[in-house]
Amino acid sequence: MALGRAGKSTGPDLACIASSLKDSRVLYSEPMSEHTSFRIGGPCDLLVLPGTSEDAVKAWTMCREMKVPCHVIGNGTNLLVKDGGVRGCLIKMAPGSHGLERTGDLSIEARSGTLLPRLLQAALEEGLSGLEWAVGIPGSVGGAVTMNAGAYGGDFGSLVSRVQAASLDGDTCWIGADEMGFSYRHSLFAERDDLLVLSAELKLAPGDKSSIYDIMLRRAGEREEKQPLDVPSAGSAFRRPQGHYVGAMIESLGLKGKSIGGAQVSPKHAGFIVNAGNATAKDVLELMSLVQAKVKASFGVDLEPEIVVIGEDPEPGHCSF
């Protein structure tokens, strides 16, 4: 166990949770700007970076027993943490709780903290096809399961055969794909806070390594050409509404490049909101609200955020920098 920088008093419950974890890093008053792809976010009272599934389950169940507020995240790539930070405990599964295992001719089991680029590389090395669409997505397996990550007509849920999850009593079980309610950017785990994703087994297809690699290379090039990969963001800001393209609607309203504070509608792809320099969560949320209002007024479409927002606003009188 490694202790991070000390901050304000976090109470005996958080100290008890931290001291019980043998294979984890624990950080007090840790700025979440260091742990999200947006590079935005106030401090978390206790950030747990579990090195094992056992530690993750222990921290999660102890929080429930002690009534400590608790959030579980993957690699923080579709996350906006508010400027006041996160009270209680936050468990970041990726990349610490990771691992891959070939479980059958066409099956791979990946622990929830495994980063998608590592999973894709393993599938390529094993000559297994089906994940090529996910090139360039920086998230974790647990996050991809929970949000049913997808791109280019593919999605994670279509590949999942079963998921191992923990319940609040600390027991683990396997849940079949037919019970997971996969739909567009949604799964059972997005609505249940009494289940903790530990690993997922994927059923892939046999493929030719050079063909898989060529598709991956092409997808990577398309992403680099169209998306603002060189500046901090949390991926697509809004879910795609049926019958519409988010970026095209926003661009048609002249909002491409629009800024509030350090937050900006990407000049490269209007479906992304980027941290153009020292953006606060307040900047991002105000810009998202502006975009939503303009799209609603012009197209009658309610844009739903794809970015997950957690945390609190700063206390009155507190300045965010």
Token reading at 181: 């309610």
Token reading at 243: 């019958």
Token reading at 124: 């390529």
Distance CA 287, CA 273 (A): 8
- What Rg value do the Cα atoms of the chain yield, rounded? 20
Q: Which one from 53, 233, 236, 266 is the annotated catalytic residue?
A: 236
Contact (CB, 8 A) for 285 and 309: yes
Q: Which one from 185, 199, 201, 266 is the annotated catalytic residue?
A: 185
Residue 252 annotated in active site: no
Distance CA 119, CA 139 (A): 11
E strands present in 62-133: 70-73, 79-81, 86-92, 100-102, 107-111, 128-129
Asked whether the CA dihedral 51, 125, 73, 201 is positive or negative, the reply is negative
HSE (side-chain half, CA atoms, 13 Å) at 1: 16
Residue 185 annotated in active site: yes
Contact (CB, 8 A) for 209 and 127: yes
Residue 236 annotated in active site: yes
Q: Are strands 43-50 and 86-92 parallel, antiparallel or unpaired?
A: parallel
Q: Which one from 167, 223, 306, 320 is the annotated catalytic residue?
A: 306
Residues with catalytic annotation?
185, 236, 306
